[in-house]
Amino acid sequence: MARPRPLSGYPELGPAQRIVEQQVLDTLRGVFELHGFTGIETRAVEPLSQLLRKGEIDKEVYVVRRLHEDPRSGGVPAAEEDGAAAAADVLALHFDLTVPFARYVVENAGTLQFPFKRYQLQKVWRGERPQEGRYREFLQADIDVVGRDVLPSHYEAEMAAVMSEALTALPLPALRMQVNNRKLIEGFYRGVGAADTAAVMRAVDKLDKVGPDGVRAELTAAAGLSEEQADACLALAGLSGDDPTVLDRVRALGVSDPLLEEGIADLGAVLEATASLTGERFSVVADLSVARGLDYYTGTVYETRMSGFESLGSICSGGRYDALASDGRSTFPGVGISFGVTRALVPLLGRGLLRASRSTPTCVLVALVDEEGRAAARRTAAALRARGIAAEVHPDAAKFGKQIRFAERRGIPFVWFPGAADGGGDQVRDIRSGEQVDAVADAWAPPEQDLRPRVVAG
C-alpha cells in the first residue's frame, strides 16, 4: 500500500502518547471504583430513531449499514428501502454515553440495583467539522447515578466531588469547574415574574456571545420582560464565586420563590462537598450564568474549563436529569458528568505538554551476547517479570553499542548484561547515568519510579 495518511478528526496516538492516555484512564477508573462506581460498556450502535429523539444533533450522527450482499455502486450500500420502515431498523454510532446508558438502564431495570452508579470509558462518534478539541471519534469518561423514580439531591454534590477528585488526580493544567442549578435559575426567573422561563434561559445562555446589552434586548423583546425584570436576570447571571457567600448575594437580589430556595440549597451543598478539593490546580465555583444547552437538565449543571485552553470550551460537563429515561411505569432520574478525555488530552499531547518517560512498558532490556545465550537471557527476563519488572530480550546478538541504542531510543532505563561481572555473574546498567552494578535476576529491583513509564507534565 502507499503510505496512508491520517483521517481528519480521527486522532490516533503514538505509543508514548498512548501510555499517557492509558495512565489517565487508569487514574479515572481507580477513583471511580473507590467510590463504588461499576464500569459498564454499551454497544457502539443504537437505533437511529432513538438517537434522533435526544438533543439536536441529527446532522452529526453516523449511520451504520451492512455492505450489501450484492454491492452495487462500487460497494456503496443502496438505500432504496421504504424510508420510514427502514429508518426504524437503521443503526447509528452513539454520539455520547448518556443516551445509551439511559437505554441500558431501562432495558435492564429488572435486574439492576438502584440507585445504580456506573462509570463508562468509551469512544463516541460525531460527524462534526474537525478542529482542535473537536473530533469525529473521541473518548469520553462518564459517571452517572440513577435511581428508580427518586434520586436524593445529595448525589448532585457527590458527583461533583467524585469527578473533582478524579480530575485533581490527573496531570492537567489548572481546572475550574463552574456549577449552577436549573431550579435556582428557573425559580429566580419565575420569582421576577417571567412567564416563559425557558425563553429567559435561552437568552441568558448567549451572554458570552452577545454580551449584557444583547441579552437585555432579547429578554425584553423575545421573552417579554420589563427592563427591571431583565436587569434582575442579568444581575443573577453576573454572580459567581467559590464560597457560600455567593448564595447570599443571590438572596440579596431580593427575589423570592420556593424553587429558587431549593436550588440555592442544592448549589450550596455542591460547593460544600467540593470545598476541600479547591486549590491552585483545581477550583469549583458557582457561576450563575451557566445553563447548559441540553433541555433535559433539571437540577445541578456542571461545566469545566482548562486554564490556557479556554477555546476548547467545557471539557467536563453534565447535570441532573429527571426524565431522560422512563419505561412508562417507572422513571429513572439521574445525575452525571462526562469528561472529554480526547478533547482534553490530544491538544496537550500535541504540544508536548504531557509526555511519557518512555514509549514501552519495558523496564529492563536483557542484552544478548550470542545466540547460544538466548535461552539463558529468556530465563533472566522471566525471573524479572516474575517479580513484576517488565523485561524483554534484545532481538539479536548485535554489538552492545547497538543494543544500548535499542534501549535509548525507547527510553528503557536499564540494560542487563549476562556474565559481565568479573566472577561471571550478571550486571545491570542504568543507561541514563552509566552506572553499572552486579545484579541477580531473582533479587535486583529498579527504583520504584522507574518500574513503569512515568507521565511528565509541562
For a second copy, the binding residues in 170-229 under the rule CB under 8 A are none
Of the two residues 87 and 353, which places its CB atom closer to a second copy in the complex?
87
Of the two residues 34 and 195, which places its CB atom closer to a second copy in the complex?
34
Q: How many Å apart are CA 288 and CA 250, to the nearest integer?
A: 9
In the chain, the amino acid numbered 279 is G
Residues that bind a second copy (rule: CB under 8 A) add up to a total of: 105
Q: Using the rule CB under 8 A, give the single segment among 74-82, 194-202, 284-292, 301-309 that binds a second copy.
A: 74-82
Q: Give the x-and-dash track for 75-114 against a second copy (CB under 8 A).
A: xxxxx-xxxx-xx--xxxx---------xx-xxxx-xxx-
Residues from 258 through 287 that contact a second copy (CB under 8 A): 273
Residues from 373 through 432 that contact a second copy (CB under 8 A): 374, 378, 385, 388-392, 395-396, 406, 409-410
Residues from 124 through 143 that contact a second copy (CB under 8 A): 125, 127, 137
Of the two residues 199 and 390, which places its CB atom closer to a second copy in the complex?
390
Q: How many Å apart are CA 64 and CA 242, to the nearest integer?
A: 45
Pick the closest to residue 159 from 145, 170, 147, 146 (CA basis): 145
Of the two residues 310 and 442, which places its CB atom closer to a second copy in the complex?
442
Q: How many Å apart are CA 168 and CA 304, to the nearest integer?
A: 12
- To a second copy, the closest distance from the beta carbon of 221 in angstroms equals 30
| 238 binds a second copy per the rule CB under 8 A | no
Candidate list 41, 56, 243, 248; residue touching a second copy; CB under 8 A: 41
Q: Are 436 and 422 in contact (CB under 8 A)?
A: no
Pick the closest to residue 130 from 353, 347, 348, 354 (CA basis): 347
| 22 binds a second copy per the rule CB under 8 A | yes
Residues from 293 through 332 that contact a second copy (CB under 8 A): 325-328
**Count of C-beta atoms within a 10 Å radius of residue 33:** 12
Q: Using the rule CB under 8 A, give the single segment among 116-124, 186-194, 309-317, 426-434 that binds a second copy.
A: 116-124
Q: Are 367 and 431 in contact (CB under 8 A)?
A: no
Whole-number Cα distances in Å, 75 to 65, 69, 181, 233: 12, 10, 50, 56
Residue ranges in 319-427 assigned as alpha helix (H): 341-350, 374-386, 400-410
- To a second copy, the closest distance from the beta carbon of 241 in angstroms equals 22
Q: Give the x-and-dash track for 328-367 against a second copy (CB under 8 A).
A: x------------------------------xxxx-----
CA angle 131, 132, 137 (to 5 degrees): 75
Of the two residues 279 and 395, which places its CB atom closer to a second copy in the complex?
395
CA angle 190, 192, 195 (to 5 degrees): 50
- To a second copy, the closest distance from the beta carbon of 390 in angstroms equals 5
| 62 binds a second copy per the rule CB under 8 A | yes
Sign (positive or negative) of CA dihedral 17, 22, 27, 29: positive
Of the two residues 52 and 353, which places its CB atom closer to a second copy in the complex?
52
Candidate list 39, 193, 211, 254; residue touching a second copy; CB under 8 A: 39
Q: Using the rule CB under 8 A, give the single segment among 48-56, 190-198, 204-212, 285-293 that binds a second copy.
A: 48-56
Pick the closest to residue 236 from 251, 221, 224 (CA basis): 251
Of the two residues 22 and 27, which places its CB atom closer to a second copy in the complex?
22
Cell numbers for 61, please give them: 450522527
- To a second copy, the closest distance from the beta carbon of 62 in angstroms equals 5
Residue 100, exposed/middle/buried by CB under 10 A (0-12, 13-18, 19+)? buried
Q: Is 121 helix (H, G, I), strand (E, B) or coil?
A: strand
